[in-house]
Amino acid sequence: MSRFVDRLTAIQTRQNSIICVGLDFDRKKVPLHIAELYGIRADVGIEMFNRRIIDAVAPYCSVFKPNLAFYESSGKKGWGALARTVAYIRERHPDHLVIGDGKRNDIGNTAEHYAEGLAQLGFHAVTWNPYMGNETAHPFFKAGLAVIALCLTSNPGAADYQLLECDGKPLYMHVAEKTVADFGASGHFGLVVGATKPEQLGRVRDAIGLDIPILIPGLKTQGGDAAATMQHNKGGQAIINFSRNVLYASAGPDFDQAAEREAQNSNDEVNALRNAV
């Protein structure tokens, strides 16, 4: 099996893009004509929207990241649409990578079942919650999935635990150092650090080096600053996520064309900034 980081490097180089597009289908925000169809058949509405977005933005990104919650909320039709969306990406854009964003984890055989279920959906990688210890990552690796560990998230509530001092350093730094020490050499591992905390991103990058990929959500809609993010990432391998600003760039019939323009503009901005580092 090819290493996740090698495949990531290859597609990012080919696409000249470190952009990830989050496929967070929200029936409250989709264009009206799609919403009307969604009311008739949820799975058709989700798939129609996703396929048009995927084909429009694929030239300007290297990774897609469906957030599982947006599909779970539609029950079995949502799960079916998610599976077919992942299959569509892998068929139409086979070199693009797909991250299942569910922050999944548990102990023992529960983790095994989480891993098997996500692998069956066709993901290349999953976001993983390290709170229960590094042993719980092994079922995901065994299932053929790369693991991207939550290190420091973009929400204000991250301060409740992740920023707490523990043995002379914040908890998120313990997560970064321990997980990278255990899994970094595998080539199937990365971290999540939110763009709303650029100085902490820089601290993580200094600790782990430039080769471990960091998935960075939180730009645009959540308030993260692209210039600060790229500066503090210091040229390390990154996956820069954009979701709502791309998906819902227009509420009209031209939603896919608007998404394409927004994805291109976002990629151009990120490329200009990373070339300046």
Tokens for 113? Answer: 């079942």
Q: How far, in Å, CA of 179 to CA of 108, rounded?
A: 18
Q: How far, in Å, CA of 170 to CA of 258, rounded?
A: 41
| Cβ atoms 192, 149 nearer than 8 A | yes
**H or E element in which residue 196 lies:** none
Using DSSP's 3-state secondary structure scheme, residue 52 falls into helix
Residue 228 bridge partners (DSSP): none
Type of residue at 25? F
Q: How far, in Å, CA of 193 to CA of 49, rounded?
A: 28
| Cβ atoms 214, 190 nearer than 8 A | yes
| Cβ atoms 185, 1 nearer than 8 A | no
Q: How far, in Å, CA of 136 to CA of 244, rounded?
A: 31
Q: Which whole-number Å values give the CA distances from 256 to 106, 121, 184, 219, 238, in the listed order?
A: 37, 25, 37, 20, 25
- Is 103 an active-site residue? yes
- Give, as one character, the DSSP assignment of residue 107: S
Q: Looking at 28, 29, 77, 103, which residue is catalytic? A: 103
Query: Catalytic site residues?
Result: 103
